[in-house]
Amino acid sequence: METTSVLKKVEYTFPRILLERLAEGRPSQALLDGWSSLEAALRMEPEAMQAALQEAALFATAQGSATVAPRSALGFAVVDAGGDLVHADSLFLKWFGPHADSIAFRRLTRLALKDGQGSGLVEAEDGAALAACAGVREAATGWPLPTDTRAALAGPARRVVLLCFAPSRAGDLAARASDAFGLTPLEARLAEALLDAPNLEAAAKRIGVGRETAREALKKAMKKAGARRSPDLVRRMMDLMCGDHPTPPAIEAVLASNFGATAAEARAAARFAQGMTAREVAEALGVKDATVRGQLKAVFAKTGVNKAKDLVRLAAETSTLAALTGTAETVLEPPDPNGRLRVIASGERRIALTDYGPRSGKPVLVMHGAATGRRLPPAFVVALHARGYRPIVPQRPGFGLTDVATEPYLEQGADDMARIMDALRIDRGKLLVRDSSTPTGLYFASHHPDRVLAGVAVNPRWPAPGRFGAVRMPASLMGAVARAFVDNPHLIGLVAELLRRQTRTDLLEATMRQSLAHVAGDRVALQTPGVLDFLVRDAQGMFARSSTGFASENQAYAAGWTIPPDVGGASWTVAEGEQMALPQIEEVWSVLPNARFRIIPEAGLLVYFTHPAVIADMVANA
């Protein structure tokens, strides 16, 4: 009896473990350490659990979160305490020349020496205002400094690193954003010129076309990007060019905190930057036209710009730089040489996807998992290409770059997939679902059955409790969390936000290693060079902006998801990794059309890495 009491006392301490790990700056570690007692704690200590999770969900992003930045938008330099240049990379020299002795840079250097870090605007050699941040060595620990910059900062005397962020000057980023929106070459050249040209006439002259031709191209580009006016097109371009980061503060807050605008000036300028005319701003705010024009004049003087789109560009770069330098770590955006980012406008929402081509290939929609899968492993892409397929990876609502759902989650996810197929001019294709994407994928196949030729389900998430009893999940961290969500849906948002605030590389690496440790095949995969880094960077991109997708998807499942009727597809293959398989697979999934069943030997969750040819064959034979 005494031993049993001691074990029970230890077992029901998850809230204490969580608070202890929170004090250590790694609350996600509590899930790794105490997952086996999670469900028991929820039964025995529900109030203590909720209180601990509420506190952990507010964990400072400056301690645990990572952002992803494009390398070509970052320029670095190091100065000594007197402001003299010690080191500069090629981009910094391109933008500012061989000197960093402007008044603005010296002010930022003084702020950094005094407070550890300072941000503001600096003037490039051509007179344009750029966003910059200065920091001492301790403040810049999580910045993505090149090796030579970090070495220069580590000199014997006290030094300051200067970080300038100017994606609008990176031609590769502008070209990628134009390509993502599906702009024609003419539309792309015009959109890219508008990033820094003073007006449409100047942009047209720069690219060598007439005003009417430019006007017509602008109209088509705005429609494809879902923009109403040219400042809105610039805003949407800039958002893609700035990288994966937490949602920046509202433009009003940026104008007030970074540029010194008054509250009234910020309100007027924010609306003007979003595409309203001065008269429309005055009507919206209930003030006179003259008042708004005076406020706009004051903001333009404070920011050094005189056009709405320039204000949008500067606000985007400044607020994103604040996000990049205000989180625990900024990592450089990983290349995906085989995949093409696409963004589709759907009303006020945008839907993102990665298209791995070729356009002549047979389309297969490949659904991502709960935290990774925006990028496909190169070997898996090669295997699908070799069998004549064109893999397309939709990002579900609230994941990655896709906006959050404005309709019920499964309905929105299915509608997004149909819109993707419409935009890519695909009538029908095959469907590959995996684990947490199963409800959304099957909802699509049920509501758009004529668009699904055949399907493959890999380690599919089983229906919610009902006919088959408890939630069918393995005895693991992820299984325990999934079961806990079903019984405690009110905690899903808290856990999702806790996880989003824990995307620092070392924390994610520990989470992935420990959560996949129970599956031998996955352990081996993580030891393969590059695999763990691939998974970590993918998860950082998926969670950088929001935890809403993860939370909404799990809430939809917890509400009682079941396999829908009339799922499309001539046949379905249901496959489970040998090290993940549980009983009743045929009894559960035989409702799918002409269902066939496979157990993949020595496989776990990471089957796209460990068995790419096997999965590609299943797609080809479906």
Residue 178 predicted with pLDDT over 70: yes
Closest CA to 41 of 72, 66, 10: 10
Does residue 215 sit in helix, strand or coil?
helix
At residue 358, the pLDDT reads 96
Q: Average pLDDT in the 191-202 region?
A: 89
Does residue 29 sit in helix, strand or coil?
helix
Spatial distance between the Cα atoms of 532 and 412, rounded to a whole number of angstroms? 31
Spatial distance between the Cα atoms of 186 and 190, rounded to a whole number of angstroms? 6
Residue 595 and residue 617 in contact, taking contact as beta carbons nearer than 8 Å: no
pLDDT range class, residue 471, cuts 50, 70, 90: low
pLDDT range class, residue 138, cuts 50, 70, 90: very high
At residue 248, the pLDDT reads 67
Residue 174 predicted with pLDDT over 70: yes
Mean pLDDT of the chain: 89
Please tell me what DSSP assigns to residue 229: S
Instruction: Tell me the HSE value of 556 on the side-chain side, using a 13 A CA sphere.
Output: 23
Residue 571 predicted with pLDDT over 70: yes
Residue 94 and residue 77 in contact, taking contact as beta carbons nearer than 8 Å: no
Spatial distance between the Cα atoms of 235 and 198, rounded to a whole number of angstroms? 15
Spatial distance between the Cα atoms of 149 and 90, rounded to a whole number of angstroms? 11
| Residue-wise pLDDT tens digits, 492-526 | 998 899 888 889 999 999 989 988 888 889 999 99
pLDDT range class, residue 287, cuts 50, 70, 90: very high
| Residue-wise pLDDT tens digits, 95-115 | 998 877 788 899 999 999 999
Residue 584 predicted with pLDDT over 60: yes
* Cβ-based neighbours of 2, under 8 Å, separated by 6 or more: none
Which segments within 108-244 are labelled E, that is strand? 117-123, 129-136, 159-165
Report the share of the chain in percent with pLDDT over 70.
95
Q: Average pLDDT in the 479-483 region?
A: 76
Let me know the angle formed at the C-alpha of 177 by 350 and 130, rounded to the nearest 5 degrees: 110
Residue 429 predicted with pLDDT over 60: yes
Residue 119 and residue 109 in contact, taking contact as beta carbons nearer than 8 Å: no
Paired tokens of 527 = 């030891």
At residue 473, the pLDDT reads 58
At residue 251, the pLDDT reads 76
- The alpha carbon dihedral of 324, 330, 332, 336 has a sign of negative
Residue 10 predicted with pLDDT over 50: no
Closest CA to 92 of 165, 167, 151: 165
Residue 487 predicted with pLDDT over 90: no
Closest CA to 482 of 540, 578, 541, 555: 555
Residue 8 predicted with pLDDT over 80: no
Question: SS3 for 350-414, per residue?
Answer: EEEEEECCCCCCEEEEECCCCCCCCCCCHHHHHHHHHCCEEEEEECCCCCCCCCCCCCCHHHHHH
| Residue-wise pLDDT tens digits, 243-255 | 888 776 677 887 8
At residue 386, the pLDDT reads 98
| Residue-wise pLDDT tens digits, 335-394 | 888 899 999 999 889 999 999 999 999 999 999 998 898 999 999 999 999 999 999 999
At residue 470, the pLDDT reads 47
Crossing angle for the helix pair 185-194 and 171-180, to the nearest 10 degrees: 130
Does residue 71 sit in helix, strand or coil?
helix
Residue 572 predicted with pLDDT over 60: yes
Paired tokens of 140 = 């810049």
Residue 368 and residue 380 in contact, taking contact as beta carbons nearer than 8 Å: no
Whole-structure pTM value: 0.91
Closest CA to 66 of 511, 426, 587, 572: 511
Spatial distance between the Cα atoms of 104 and 252, rounded to a whole number of angstroms? 23
pLDDT range class, residue 590, cuts 50, 70, 90: very high
Spatial distance between the Cα atoms of 174 and 197, rounded to a whole number of angstroms? 14
At residue 38, the pLDDT reads 79
Domains of the chain, start order? 2-56 (no CATH), 66-165 (3.30.450.20), 171-241 (1.10.10), 251-326 (1.10.10), 340-621 (3.40.50.1820)
Q: Bridge-partner residues for 123, per DSSP?
A: 129
Spatial distance between the Cα atoms of 84 and 87, rounded to a whole number of angstroms? 9
| Residue-wise pLDDT tens digits, 413-427 | 999 999 999 999 999
